[in-house]
């Protein structure tokens, strides 16, 4: 009934006869059927194509379904642009320009998304948010008391069962390279890994010894993190592991997603390990709210260059469009050095912070 008002010359109480024709594989094949419908119902200004949509007669026959979908897309795009702080009425030429003054929202000259502060002032939302995992989205205890022990206890079994697979052979290659460097530098716990000629069991025994030492030292190195990710993948697949996130995390991710804010993860764990944690959590699969993952392949989390790399990868206009959330003071300092905004997460079990550290702190994502 409401659609009748969309047909020129008709109102709510008018009667409109709409002929129905069968759909075809291609729109141009509707020509004959449309012509017969027009001839049979000359007063009708619309034809319904079964399982497709309404065709409306104007200067030509147009698909009202397609037209409506275009409007939905444009309105949705305008809202998302507005939420992201972009002026959706750009460009500054053509017919759009003539309507700019009448389409301002609440008199604002720029449509930046803003959040109310406690004192009544407003702050713009960030364009992107980059989250640490351990101590930020996830309790440190889950990593130290669940993930690390699982990897340590299963490294030998994993290597034995998957020894000849491409993933494991690549992991062994990375570990060999790391151990060679560790031996040269005299890193405690490093032991030589024999060549393949020594036999599979000898190689695995040496790998297990090195990995155990690396895990105990909580080393943030790619060789270890890649292997751990593959071990954890098996654990998640067998329902032996489930990721844990704080209760405020899912709601915040959903809110930011609705506002058009891109959310990324930056962790010392491999990208695979990150996807596994958020893919199967105590709050379900949260990956739909995440736009990407960064690991130590972009650099050490305590080095400013790493955050410069992330900023360039995200393609923002300026680094300060990115908010980085972490529980580690040195990481926040490195991010600030690259021009990012940074806040420090205060969660139960997190380490102490230096006095007068100068960063804003939060105890829940609801404070962002």
User: With DSSP H G I counted as helix, E B as strand and the rest as coil, what are the percentages for the chain, rounded to 5?
Assistant: 50, 15, 40
Indicate which residue of 2, 15, 39, 184 is catalytic: 2
Closest CA to 148 of 231, 208, 204: 231
Angstrom distance (rounded) from CA 331 to CA 325: 9
Angstrom distance (rounded) from CA 319 to CA 311: 6
Greatest distance between any 2 Cα atoms in the chain: 92
Angstrom distance (rounded) from CA 78 to CA 81: 5
Task: Kindly tell me the sign of the dihedral angle through the C-alpha atoms of 160, 161, 165, 170.
Answer: negative
Dump strand ranges (E) for the chain.
20-21, 46-49, 53-57, 61-63, 114-116, 122-124, 128-131, 262-266, 292-294, 322-326, 341-345, 360-362
Closest CA to 275 of 292, 259, 261: 292
Q: Is 2 one of the annotated active-site residues of the chain?
A: yes
Catalytic residues: 2
């Amino acid at each position: 009934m409401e659609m009748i008002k969309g047909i020129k010359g008709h109102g709510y109480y008018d009667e409109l006869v709409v002929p129905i024709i069968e759909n075809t594989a291609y729109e141009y094949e509707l020509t004959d059927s449309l012509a017969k419908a027009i001839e049979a119902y000359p007063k009708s200004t619309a034809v319904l194509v079964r399982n497709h949509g309404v065709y409306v007669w104007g200067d030509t026959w147009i698909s009202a379904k397609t037209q409506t979908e275009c409007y939905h897309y444009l309105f949705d795009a305008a809202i998302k642009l507005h939420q992201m702080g972009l002026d959706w009425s750009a460009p500054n030429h053509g017919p759009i320009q003539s309507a700019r003054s009448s389409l301002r929202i609440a008199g604002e000259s720029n449509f930046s998304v803003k959040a109310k502060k406690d004192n009544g002032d407003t702050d713009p939302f960030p364009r992107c948010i980059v989250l640490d995992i351990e101590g930020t989205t996830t309790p440190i205890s889950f990593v130290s008391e669940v993930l690390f022990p699982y990897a340590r206890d299963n490294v030998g079994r994993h290597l034995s069962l998957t020894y000849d697979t491409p993933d494991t052979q690549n992991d062994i290659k990375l570990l060999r390279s790391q151990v060679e460097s560790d031996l040269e530098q005299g890193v405690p716990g490093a032991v030589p890994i024999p060549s393949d000629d020594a036999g599979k069991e000898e190689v695995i025994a040496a790998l297990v010894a090195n990995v155990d030492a690396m895990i105990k030292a909580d080393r943030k190195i790619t060789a270890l993190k890649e292997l751990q990710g593959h071990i954890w993948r098996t654990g998640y697949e067998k329902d032996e592991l489930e990721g844990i996130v704080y209760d405020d995390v899912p709601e915040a991710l959903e809110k930011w997603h609705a506002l058009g804010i891109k959310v990324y993860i930056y962790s010392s764990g491999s990208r695979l390990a990150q996807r596994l944690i958020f893919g199967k959590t105590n709050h379900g699969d949260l990956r739909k709210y995440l736009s990407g993952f960064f690991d130590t392949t972009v650099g050490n989390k305590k080095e400013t260059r790493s955050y410069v790399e992330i900023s360039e990868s995200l393609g923002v206009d300026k680094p300060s469009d990115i908010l980085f959330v972490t529980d580690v003071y040195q990481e926040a300092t490195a991010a600030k050095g690259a021009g990012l905004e940074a806040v420090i997460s205060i969660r139960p079990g997190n380490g102490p912070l230096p006095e007068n550290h100068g960063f804003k702190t939060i105890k829940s994502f609801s404070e962002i």
